[in-house]
Amino acid sequence: MTKAVAGLLAAALLILAVLVAMGDTSAFDTAILKAVAFAGDTSYWRAALFVTVLGGTPAILAAMAVVSLLLLRSGEKRTVLLQWAGFLGARIATDGLKLLMARPRPADLTDPDRILAAATSASFPSGHTTSAVYVFGFLILVMLESNAGPFIKRGSVALLVLLVVAVASSRLLLGVHYPSDILGGALSGGIMLAFVSGILKSR
């Protein structure tokens, strides 16, 4: 079932990439971005910048390492290998699409803004969103399979879902991505998460 979901998500990502390449999402993307971006409000910008760091490479790799160590302590070596294989697969898909699509970032960004928000690569799809969906989603899978009590499980899952939404939203609020970039990143991370989930459940 989860492998079928991965296939559906892959098809959706392919369709979205074609639409973006053809420019069919431009009007929608621009309208939404103008409506929600902070447009130079420094107080909100700084808050969003703090949140967006949680989806950046250093924070993501740190989260991956912590989860790996916990799994290794539990004797889950194969799960650790699967964890990293899924992450690398998601990142290769996203970075490959970035190179292939070469979509420019929104035009209103200054160079310092791009550097601060880690927005120096191509725009589609969002790498921060890809990483957040996969890494924090994988942590949800681990929590659901753990021996933690139901209250801790529910609280952890809610917090992790909120974290994914916050990171993805921060990219839009900072004005460094279009909505279709965020959706593309979510699909890319979701594909590998669904695939990995299917393997874990079949063991």
pTM score, two decimals? 0.93
CA distance 55 to 137: 13
> Which tokens belong to 94?
């996203």
CA distance 127 to 141: 21
40 φ/ψ angles, rounded to the nearest 5 degrees: 90, 0
Candidate CATH numbers 1.10.1760, 1.10.540, 1.10.3470, 1.20.144; the one for domain 2-202: 1.20.144
Q: Where are the domains of the chain?
A: 2-202
CA distance 81 to 87: 10
> Which tokens belong to 107?
């035009």
Contacts of residue 29, defined as CB under 8 A and 6 or more positions apart, other chains included, come to 178, 179, 180
For residue 129, the Cα-to-chain-centroid distance in whole angstroms is 2
Per-residue pLDDT tens over the stretch 12-29 = 999 999 999 999 999 999
Instruction: Provide the mean pLDDT of the chain.
Output: 90
Amino acid at 61: L
Q: End-to-end CA distance of the chain, in Å?
A: 14
pLDDT number for residue 111 = 67
